[in-house]
Structure 1
Amino acid sequence: MRIVFLLSRIEQSGVTTHTIDLARGLIDMGHQVCLITGGKILDGTNRVDDFYREFEDMGVTIKEFDTPRGSILKKTYLSITSILKVIKDIKAYTPDVVHSQSPYMTFIPWLMGIKYTTTLHILYLKKNFKFKNPTHLIAISQESYEFSKKTFGILDKNISLIHHGVSSRYAETIDDTEKIALKNKLGIPGEKLVIGFAGSISLRKGSDILTAALSEIKKEVRDKIKFVFLGGVQGSEEYLWLKKLVKEAQIEDIFIYVPFEDPKPFYDIFDIFVLPSRMESFPLVTLEAMMSQCCPIRSNTEGAYEQIDHGVNGMLFENENVQELTETLNELIQNSDLRKRLGTAAKQKALEEFTIPVMTNKTLQVYEKIRLN
């Protein structure tokens, strides 16, 4: 099968990561993939360049269009020429399926009068002339499923719920020598328990909730831990805000900041992974941490109850409830048996439900419903 992905831009986001993972799953099964995109959005790290190379290395055909910018006149001109180029590229590739990873690009296959699908990654998508209801929609969580029905009036028969999957590389831990080397690089003594986070610095991700909870951990418990914040760009406005939060919370002694890079080796030294987001979709970082056998804690926002069975393979806390997060951290830091049991069960669930092959097979079932040829 020949599949075209429409992705407005390649950036450091879950949508880009999901597109890479799905493309890899499809190619591994013998399918061909073309990515039509507005190109890279650089963010001060090397990750976006890494993402672009991943597409190239796995054999994805990449076609770029100009993202509209500048004056109104220039934007209008670029919009028209870019749309025409995308249409031309789609026709030239002669795909069996068009999959718009960016919902606001769905108007293009709609204009062409062909069948297509889109994945609804976010729950704050608004009605917009650029979004056209697809032939069949892929929801990534129960919340996005219900959102699609309520906001866009899409019928149940035209929606499939398909959870994200992540690479099995997260299940393969680095060796003890590499773990020790990474801890030494970060200045973490061997006896310390490591708690970690991976993601952007923002209110949406709950950076302030996180620092507030860490500040409330009992001193005798806090002496046992180090916290690693992996994300963002050092020196950015967001970084300066985080630095201020850390200072105000008086947690400089346990807080270690690392600008974002490949999170894989970090998961392998995390004993506990925390995601305190105020708003989510179906966060890949939780799945990556689970597959790495971290004990996961996350807020009960979108996708939480599908990812984690509370007390079975992780812990959930009420969104924005700093006290509840603090109490959960206190319990897990002090109870190694519980922590390890939850981590083991988290890995088992991730390997059973959240792998690339599982996601890809379910996606192919949608493709069969809407294929063009």
Structure 2
Amino acid sequence: LALLFAGKASVAYSRIVLVGAWLLSIFLLPVTRRFCRHYFGKFRWWGTPLVILDRSNTGRELWHYLKRHPWLGLSPADIFTLPPDMEEARRQLKDAERRHPGAIALMLQPSDAHTARFVHEASRYFVKILVVPAQSSGVRQHWFHACDLGTMTGFMLMQNLRRRWRQRLKRALDLVLCLPVVVLCSVPGLLLCLLIRLDSRGPVFYRQRRLGKDGKAFDVFKFRTMRQDADEVLARYLEENPDLRDEWEKDRKLKHDPRITRVGRFLRKSSLDELPQLINVVRGEMSLVGPRPIVEAEIAKYGEVYADYCRVRPGITGLWQVSGRNNTTYEERVSLDRYYVTNWCIWMDLWILARTFPVVLTGYGAY
């Protein structure tokens, strides 16, 4: 736009094209960025070298995590603990800078009296220093910024969902995006209803009691994917295969569930079984993006995170759905739900919606 305006290349500007390109970029940019990170993460040259100045369990865990997720852009190159002796620490820092030019120095849990001195010494040899405060090990906060308090530095945390106008904005986005989709999916939805009826006996829709915002119970709608005698089939299957009982007790899921019908397996793999939840969104019981709706028995598994869960409407899609779904542990799912509530913004919802399409098309983590 700047080049067209400055060069006066044309006097005819299509506003529809310009606005359409901007709206399209909202979805294409995060998807393309994610693809590039995962693709180029396979190459050795990708990422900035990282020197971790902490050989504790936390430092080792971070080392292995970054090695498993190279797309994050930080490539661990070295890890060691700075000794209490400052002269020896200087020697190690100088040697690390020589062996890893352009690296970022990361200090984990700096909570002792030598922290400030070590930071100042590291700044003599490294251009960038990433300091992780000790109290941040249990806090995954995205919307924060440094705050100068005169004699010290603090971190200002933001809770976007505490503001009413942001909650209304989220609800408006749900309706604007949901109502056109309901109209477009009406014909395919009727076709799916017909296939379900032809495949097995029973109702087309399945309703289950779930907990929503403020802990209020509601009926979530889904296309039926199981046989009518699902409970009897499950009991018989677990009795014949006792080795699978632990898998069922852990997450209340089975990778090869005998209760699922032929059409139901396709619906689950493609996530089309959750299409009727658009009705819940229109009724205000759910949102397009949010934590996965839970049943009452799962409150104990959520623990203190349940209070965060109750602050938002559960969603058709969410961080869990685009982060591996059934390939993740239940603890990771709870952690992702807390992260979403704590760090919510309208751009995060759009980013999750953009990532949902490739996840649905590939069927990753669905069963």
- Answer whether TM exceeds 0.5 for this pair: no
Larger Rg: 2
Q: With a CA cutoff of 8 Å and minimum separation of 6, indicate the structure with the bigger relative contact order.
A: 1
Q: TM-score, length-normalised on structure 1?
A: 0.29
